[in-house]
Amino acid sequence: MVKKIGGRIYLGIIFLFLYLPILVLLILSFNNSKSRVAWGGFTAKWYVSMFQNDTIMDAFAMTLKITLTASILATIIGTLAAIGIQAMRRRGKAILIGATNIPLLNADIVTGISMMLLFVRFTKLGFSTVLIAHLTFDIPYVILNVLPKLNQASRSAYEAALDLGATPFYAFYKIVWPDIRPGVFSGFLMAITMSLDDFSITYFTKGPGVNTLSTMLYTELRKGIKPEMYALSALLFGIALALLLIMNYRSSKKNDINN
Amino acid sequence: MPKELIHLSHITKSYETAVILDDLDLHIRENEFMTLLGPSGCGKTTTLRLLGGFETPDAGQIFFDGTDITSLPPNERKLNTVFQKYALFTHMSIAENIAFGLKISKKSKTYIDDKIKYALKLVNLEGYEKRSVDSLSGGQQQRIAIARAIVNEPKVLLLDEPLGALDLKLRQDMQYELIRLKEELGITFVYVTHDQEEALTMSDTIVVMNQGYIQQIGTPEDIYNEPANAFVADFIGESNIIDGRMLQDRLVEFLGVQITCVDTGFGQNQPVDVVIRPEDVELSDPANGFMEGDVISTIFKGVHYEIEVHANGYDWLVHTTKMFPVGAHVGIHVIPFNIHIMNKPESNDEKAVESDV
Amino acid sequence: MYKWKRQFLSGPYVVWIAGFIILPILTIFYYGITDSSGSFTLANIFAIAEPIHMKALLLSLKLALLCTAFCLILSYPLAMILNNLHLKQQSFVVFIFVLPMWMNFMLRILAWQLLLSNNGILNTILEGLGMPKLQLLNTPSAVVFGMVYDFLPFMILPIYNAMGRIQRDVVDAARDLGASELQVFLKIILPLTISGVISGIIMVFVPALTSFVISNLLGGGKVLLIGNVIEQEFMQNMDWNMGSGLSIVLMIFVVASMAFMNAHGSEEGGGAVW
């Protein structure tokens, strides 16, 4: 019993540690004072004025554009790649999985710099170079989420479908896809999370004039953080929380039905 | 009769709202091969886990050799368990798996090495010391799980559906292996299964359980030939279970005919279940039976034919070595000794049983 | 026949690997072993021996080791506690630890800047308790703190996953064979989770060793890590050859630490841990 209570307290401390900064940011987003340390009363005005701030809105739009484009493309390329990798012989498989691990394990700063060095030889840094960089570190997350599901998927069911006259595409859609869909989906979510949270790689591969929320914050650090940024981040966090909770609820309901 | 080794006394156990065991009382004797038999959810595995010490009862006591072990943790009990899915330690070699318990009890290295050799020989896997768990087949893994348990020289070996994951042929081989092992080791086996054939083949005593209650305890012959109620009759082998009425001692009426039987003491005009084994039904000329019917299906099963006969509104299941074609008009006869009369369920316990059948 | 076709599906990715994973690494190697005129030199790599670079590298190693150690110490018991909750939805745990990432990383670190500052909440609490104020911000400790905060999920999740894969039967079997709770932990749980611990260590140590943003924000320019040195070479000094040379050194450390952990891991996983 003591052990149980101790465990709960420990859990509580860790969650406080993880979520305390988020709480601080939420409070700041409602603070009617530009000061970061004094409470100036409650206001929601930053949630309005953020839409009028062009710098923030541009960075926000760029962040969304890069995150969504990169994660959607990464999901497509990554899923196809995973299907191909699974069909390969041992050697090819090992080489490709090894290469897939490079962007995950290599230092972000080295990944960012090495891509920048390559890109400046051929083109100007800008939206497309950031997109390529994001795709490069997003695809591995998709592959690593899809591959285990593919390995679990029943090979004989797929072959049975072919045997019953299905085309490979139809058999894939009807038999394999339902099995790997959760993996594709969680890979997509991981890609979004990683793209949204990335700073280092974007920082090195972006050109002048291209700014995501992270890189904008970094360059404006010395000028001080605009309170609208707190509001925008809090809003994004709220939306993400709501979406993830709904999905979690729905998947747990589905599980209950299956059980 | 060998002396009593374990006594489960008035055990009750529930999870959240579901009652798994209700006032269970069970005696296990030394050197006995006891099988807990029943459908899933009947409480047999919970009983085994209580014996192993992985669960504690809500009420009741467990005695081992006269001592109360109800709250003793598993590592201090003189029983060892063979788990359903083997539960081998995949990060250790076969030898290390078998040596696990011996090293914990600080046996000498030569003792341990001898024991490993002995145990591997006992389960017919000599020379497997260095192999990894993953390189073994299911049947081999199960043998190692048994070896790992028996090297500790437990007084009782608990086996939780150990053959459930094996294919039919292997399962039959392992049944004989287990009987041989039990004879060589001279210890008590408590065996959990839902497979009636396994239970009948190996056991000295079978405990038939359903919904947390013991339905019948007896030798395989008792259980098969004299099932205590319709549930046991149906669960152990196949049976024709027919609604009937006991008119008086030695006279029962069912399906519109009155038949002589050997049972007495049911009173007069009492509703009963009439249970007749398929192999006890004799088919003959229509004139020679106590009722007439038509064959509606015939399946060749190797040793016998499985025949269904529709007679007086009931589909009889019959096992016979003689062939009767579909559509044949036949007479049905059963000798009085093979007509088993059972009380209709009255108590709540038994009602629960019936709903499950 | 269809099997051959299926392999082609990874075609785009193979091209991607060649173009955007392999080629960039070759490029950084090229810059690292040439000077600004394009002729071969090892000076950029040996530049790590310069005192200021060496100092930054050693400090990075020290802070990364500390960060990894703290993450491990915090995560292992946490993973055990989480595992003992026997949650039906293991994905919920992942959810809890990944969710903070949806709040901008930079802002979360800035929030810690506020919390740790001289007039921040932590010091206010200390003051209220009658204790002296602590200089928390702009110290190596603050940097380690921020790293632990940022990388903790990467330690917890692999350990938690490894623990979830241990079947209850296996623990029961060990208990049944006479092992006490401590012996179960030492002989079963620990060896079976060591692979999770190792991937956790790699996933925390490498980013901690190479981080430059956290040291910038929480170190206040006073904590110079090897990542900061490389960033400055590229963004301020515009010395790409020097920056690449130092990056190669950093990569050598990354690869070496992974090789070390993997070698260690396979040895432990082999089962000779009695």
Query: Which residues are bridge partners to B213 per DSSP?
Result: B210
CA distances from A14 to A9, A17, B262, C18 (A): 9, 5, 74, 41
Residue C20 CA to residue A203 CA, distance in Å, equals 17
What is the interface size between A and C, counted as CB pairs within 8 Å?
222
Q: Which of the four pLDDT bands, split at 50, 70 and 90, describes residue B345?
A: low
Which residue from B87, B91, B132 is facing C173, i.e. has the nearest CB? B87
Q: CA end-to-end span of chain A, whole Å? A: 31
Any C CB within 8 A of B93 CB = yes
DSSP symbol at B69: -
Query: Which residues are bridge partners to B24 per DSSP?
Result: B11
* pLDDT value at B343 more than 90: no
Same fold, B4-225 and B239-341: no
* pLDDT value at A258 more than 60: no
Judge: C27–A36 Cβ closer than 8 Å, yes or no: no
Model pLDDT for residues C212-260, shown as the tens digit of each residue: 999 999 998 889 999 999 999 998 999 999 999 999 999 999 898 888 8
Any C CB within 8 A of B142 CB = no
Q: pLDDT value at position C270?
A: 29
A142 & A39 share domain: no
Q: Which residues of B touch C188 (CB under 8 A)?
A: 89
Which value, in Å, is the radius of gyration of the alpha carbons in chain C?
23
Would the CA dihedral through B162, B166, B168, B173 be positive or negative?
Answer: negative
CB atoms within 10 A of CB B36: 29
Q: pLDDT value at position B18?
A: 83
* pLDDT value at C114 more than 70: yes
CB atoms within 10 A of CB C22: 13
* pLDDT value at B73 more than 70: yes
Measure in Å the smallest separation between the Cα of C267 and chain B Cα atoms. 11
Q: pLDDT value at position B148?
A: 94
* pLDDT value at C274 more than 50: no
Range of the domain at A20: 1-43
Q: Which residues of A touch C100 (CB under 8 A)?
A: 18-19, 21-22
Q: What is the DSSP string of C51-100?
A: HHHHHHHHHHHHHHHHHHHHHHHHHHHHHHHHHHT--S-THHHHHHHHGG
* pLDDT value at B354 more than 70: no
What residue segments make up the domains of chain B, in order of their start?
4-225, 239-341
* pLDDT value at C269 more than 80: no
Q: Is residue A75 part of a domain?
A: yes
Q: Is residue A199 part of a domain?
A: yes
Which residue from C24, C105, C251 is facing A199, i.e. has the nearest CB? C105
Judge: C102–A236 Cβ closer than 8 Å, yes or no: yes
Chosen for mutation from B46, B81, B88, B91 (greatest number of chain C CBs closer than 10 Å) is B91
Residue B256 CA to residue B237 CA, distance in Å, equals 26
Q: Which of the four pLDDT bands, split at 50, 70 and 90, describes residue B356?
A: very low
CA distances from A199 to A195, C25, C61, C231, C236 (A): 9, 20, 22, 13, 18
Model pLDDT for residues C41-76, shown as the tens digit of each residue: 999 999 999 999 999 999 999 999 999 999 999 999
Nearest to C106 by CA among A106, A232, A245: A232
Judge: B75–C179 Cβ closer than 8 Å, yes or no: yes
A105 & A207 share domain: yes
Residue B199 CA to residue B208 CA, distance in Å, equals 10
Q: Is residue A48 part of a domain?
A: no
Judge: B149–C172 Cβ closer than 8 Å, yes or no: no
Residue B160 CA to residue B66 CA, distance in Å, equals 24
- For the domain with range B239-341, which CATH number is right: 3.40.1390.10, 2.40.50.140, 2.60.40.180, 3.40.50.150? 2.40.50.140
State which residue of chain A sits closest to C210, comparing Cα positions: A107
Residues across chain A:
259
Query: What does the mean pLDDT of chain A come to?
Result: 88
Give, in words, the CATH class of B4-225: alpha beta
A113 & A207 share domain: yes
Q: Which of the four pLDDT bands, split at 50, 70 and 90, describes residue C92?
A: confident
* pLDDT value at A207 more than 90: no
Model pLDDT for residues B205-224, shown as the tens digit of each residue: 999 999 889 999 999 999 99
Measure in Å the smallest separation between the Cα of C7 and chain A Cα atoms. 4
Measure in Å the smallest separation between the Cα of C168 and chain A Cα atoms. 19
Q: pLDDT value at position C119?
A: 79
User: What's the rounded mean pLDDT across residues B163-184?
Assistant: 86
A25 & A57 share domain: no
3-state per-residue secondary structure call for A40-106: CCECCHHHHHHHHCHHHHHHHHHHHHHHHHHHHHHHHHHHHHHHHHHCCCHHHHHHHHHHHHHHHHC
Q: Which residues of C touch A18 (CB under 8 A)?
A: 96-97, 100, 149, 152
Q: Cβ(B144)–Cβ(B135) under 8 Å?
A: no
Nearest to C28 by CA among A132, A109, A207: A109
Higher pLDDT, C272 or A189: A189
* pLDDT value at B62 more than 90: yes
* pLDDT value at A1 more than 80: no
Any C CB within 8 A of B154 CB = no
Measure in Å the smallest separation between the Cα of C207 and chain A Cα atoms. 6
CA distances from B30 to B5, B25, B61, B188, C62 (A): 5, 17, 19, 6, 64
User: What's the rounded mean pLDDT across residues B77-88?
Assistant: 91
Domains of chain C and any CATH numbers: 51-267 (1.10.3720.10)
Judge: C177–B149 Cβ closer than 8 Å, yes or no: yes
Judge: A25–C111 Cβ closer than 8 Å, yes or no: yes
Q: pLDDT value at position C64?
A: 97
Residues ≥6 apart with Cβ < 8 Å to A72: A188
State which residue of chain C sits closest to A196, comparing Cα positions: C102
Chains C and B touch (3+ CB pairs under 8 A): yes
Bridging pattern class, strands B340-343 and B270-276 = antiparallel
Model pLDDT for residues B117-131, shown as the tens digit of each residue: 999 998 889 999 999
Q: pLDDT value at position A255?
A: 57
Helical segments of chain B, H only:
44-52, 94-104, 109-122, 138-150, 168-185, 196-202, 220-225, 230-235, 348-356
Any B CB within 8 A of C11 CB = no
Any C CB within 8 A of B101 CB = yes
Q: Which residues of C touch B77 (CB under 8 A)?
A: 176
Judge: A102–C21 Cβ closer than 8 Å, yes or no: yes
Measure in Å the smallest separation between the Cα of C84 and chain B Cα atoms. 15
A78 & A177 share domain: yes
Q: Cβ(B269)–Cβ(B246) under 8 Å?
A: yes
Domain count, chain A: 2
Model pLDDT for residues B273-284, shown as the tens digit of each residue: 899 999 999 999
A146 & A212 share domain: yes
Q: Which of the four pLDDT bands, split at 50, 70 and 90, describes residue A164?
A: confident
Q: pLDDT value at position B348?
A: 45
Q: Cβ(B116)–Cβ(B98) under 8 Å?
A: yes
Upper half-sphere CA count for residue B276 (Cβ side, 13 Å): 28
Q: CA end-to-end span of chain B, whole Å? A: 35
Judge: C21–A24 Cβ closer than 8 Å, yes or no: no
To the nearest whole percent, how much of chain C has pLDDT over 90? 61
* pLDDT value at C184 more than 90: yes
Residue B154 CA to residue A13 CA, distance in Å, equals 45
User: What's the rounded mean pLDDT across residues B133-158?
Assistant: 92
Q: Cβ(B38)–Cβ(B210) under 8 Å?
A: yes
Q: What ipTM does this complex have?
A: 0.86
Chosen for mutation from C99, C117, C198 (greatest number of chain A CBs closer than 10 Å) is C99
Higher pLDDT, C143 or A222: C143
A132 & A28 share domain: no
Which residue from C12, C117, C247 is facing A77, i.e. has the nearest CB? C12
Residue B165 CA to residue C198 CA, distance in Å, equals 33
Judge: C96–A15 Cβ closer than 8 Å, yes or no: yes
Q: Which of the four pLDDT bands, split at 50, 70 and 90, describes residue B352?
A: very low
Q: Is residue A234 part of a domain?
A: yes
Model pLDDT for residues A24-56, shown as the tens digit of each residue: 999 989 988 877 777 888 888 999 999 999 989
To the nearest whole percent, how much of chain B has pLDDT over 70? 96
Any B CB within 8 A of C191 CB = yes
Any B CB within 8 A of C274 CB = yes
Judge: B85–C167 Cβ closer than 8 Å, yes or no: yes
A157 & A250 share domain: yes
Model pLDDT for residues B23-34, shown as the tens digit of each residue: 999 999 999 999
A57 & A14 share domain: no
A60 & A107 share domain: yes
Q: pLDDT value at position A250?
A: 73
Q: Which residues of C touch A36 (CB under 8 A)?
A: 114
Residues ≥6 apart with Cβ < 8 Å to A141: A74, A78, A104, A187, A190, A191, A194
Q: Which residues of A touch C114 (CB under 8 A)?
A: 24, 36-37
Nearest to C176 by CA among B150, B20, B11, B174: B150
Q: pLDDT value at position C273?
A: 23
